[in-house]
């Protein structure tokens, strides 16, 4: 199916937002003159990005390798979250902050090279940073960022360690038996002789078994509590993901409706321009006709006056030259 070339679309999204509409409309007119209405319609549906989205698009267009690194980091973060790898997740979270900071600095450099970019103090770098963070957690946003077709800034959806009360990840270095599970020791207990040794050993064994049962019961209680908390967290996650899906669909539908309205408005503006030209020509024709009517009326009046004068002369001649008796 014919359509605009990727180079043309990239050129439009490289254009500063204040000049985007004019550049897009010029491309639409060029496609129509070339006899390519399908391309003209697709170009007319392209929407103007915000300044923050334009800056992110510049990053994707001029430094695609940096955006690729960002997407790879996002994949690594998601994998670490799924596997609950605490140390790796903390390492990647620190790396995320450093990468986003470096990308924001690169965006500032790219904006400085653009003659029509806002002043450095007015650049929406906070929105740029939020969008890059969102790309780390939302694959759809990441794809828009990588394509350089972003229309508006996005919000950070959340990555990294989420504080949970009384929860922690245990690593291989932290497998030492908790103090609560160690056998209880009776301070001062000692063997005093052959008769007291068996009794003391039996008491110590009973105390150890009791401590082990208590430790198992405590672990079971903790496991049940964690299972309940995990179930609630997963339910909250599913509900949030469903709400996100619904909201994303509503946003996409709204954007489609707005695109259609903008296309219709563009067509109405074209028809209005044609109608204004037709009206202007009609006004000129009416004025010319009015001048012609005025001239014709004046000429008719002059002829009527001449006819009346001639008739009066004929009447006078007839009255003065009649037959004699």
pLDDT one digit per residue (tens) for the chain, 325 residues: 568 888 999 899 989 999 999 999 999 999 999 999 999 999 999 999 999 999 999 999 999 898 888 888 887 777 776 666 667 777 777 778 888 998 999 999 999 888 878 888 889 999 999 999 888 888 888 888 888 888 999 876 444 433 333 333 333 333 333 443 444 444 444 444 444 555 667 777 777 788 888 888 888 888 888 878 777 767 677 676 667 666 666 766 666 566 667 667 767 777 887 787 888 788 888 988 889 989 999 999 999 899 988 888 888 888 876 555 4
Distances (CA, A) of 55 to 13, 16, 129, 238, 258: 10, 9, 11, 33, 23
Q: Are 3 and 42 in contact (CB under 8 A)?
A: yes
Q: Are 77 and 159 in contact (CB under 8 A)?
A: yes
Q: What is the pLDDT of residue 127?
A: 93
Task: Give the number of other CB atoms < 10 A from CB of residue 165.
Answer: 5
Provide the CA 279 distance to its chain's centre, in angstroms: 42
Q: Are 152 and 53 in contact (CB under 8 A)?
A: yes
Q: What is the pLDDT of residue 115?
A: 82
Q: What is the pLDDT of residue 252?
A: 64
Q: What is the pTM of this model?
A: 0.46
Burial label, 1 (beta-carbon count in 10 A; 0-12, 13-18, 19+): exposed
Q: What is the pLDDT of residue 192?
A: 46
Q: What is the pLDDT of residue 240?
A: 67
Q: Are 102 and 177 in contact (CB under 8 A)?
A: no
Q: What is the pLDDT of residue 253?
A: 64
Q: What is the pLDDT of residue 184?
A: 45
- How many Å apart are CA 129 and CA 66, to the nearest integer? 14
Q: What is the pLDDT of residue 23?
A: 94
Q: What is the pLDDT of residue 173?
A: 38
For 161, how many CA atoms within 13 A lie in the half-sphere containing its CB?
16
Q: What is the pLDDT of residue 30?
A: 94
């Amino acid at each position: 199916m014919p359509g605009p070339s990727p180079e043309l679309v990239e050129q439009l999204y490289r254009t500063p937002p204040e000049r985007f509409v004019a550049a897009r409309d010029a491309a639409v007119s060029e496609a129509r003159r070339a006899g390519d209405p399908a391309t003209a319609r697709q170009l007319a549906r392209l929407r103007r990005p915000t300044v923050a989205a334009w800056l992110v698009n510049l990053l994707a267009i001029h430094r695609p390798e940096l955006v690729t690194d960002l997407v790879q980091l996002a994949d690594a973060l998601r994998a670490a979250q799924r596997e609950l790898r605490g140390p790796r997740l903390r390492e990647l979270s620190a790396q995320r902050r450093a990468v986003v900071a470096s990308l924001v600095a690169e965006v500032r450099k790219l904006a400085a090279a653009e003659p029509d970019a806002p002043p450095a103090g007015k650049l929406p770098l906070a929105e740029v940073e939020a969008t890059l963070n969102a790309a780390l957690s939302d694959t759809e946003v990441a794809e828009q960022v990588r394509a350089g077709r972003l229309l508006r800034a996005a919000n950070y959806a959340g990555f990294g360690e989420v504080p949970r009360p009384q929860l922690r990840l245990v690593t291989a270095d932290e497998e030492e038996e908790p103090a609560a599970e160690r056998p209880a020791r009776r301070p001062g207990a000692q063997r005093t002789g052959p008769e007291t040794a068996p009794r003391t050993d039996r008491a110590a064994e009973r105390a150890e078994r009791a401590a082990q049962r208590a430790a198992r019961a405590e672990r079971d209680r903790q496991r049940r509590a964690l299972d309940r908390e995990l179930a609630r967290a997963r339910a909250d996650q599913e509900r949030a993901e469903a709400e996100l899906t619904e909201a994303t669909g509503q946003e996409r539908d709204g954007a489609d409706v707005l695109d259609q309205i903008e296309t219709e408005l563009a067509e109405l503006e074209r028809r209005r321009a044609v109608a204004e030209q037709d009206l202007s020509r009609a006004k000129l024709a009416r004025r010319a006709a009015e001048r012609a009517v005025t001239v014709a009326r004046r000429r008719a009046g002059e002829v009527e006056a001449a006819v009346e004068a001639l008739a009066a002369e004929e009447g006078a001649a007839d009255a003065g030259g009649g037959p004699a008796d």
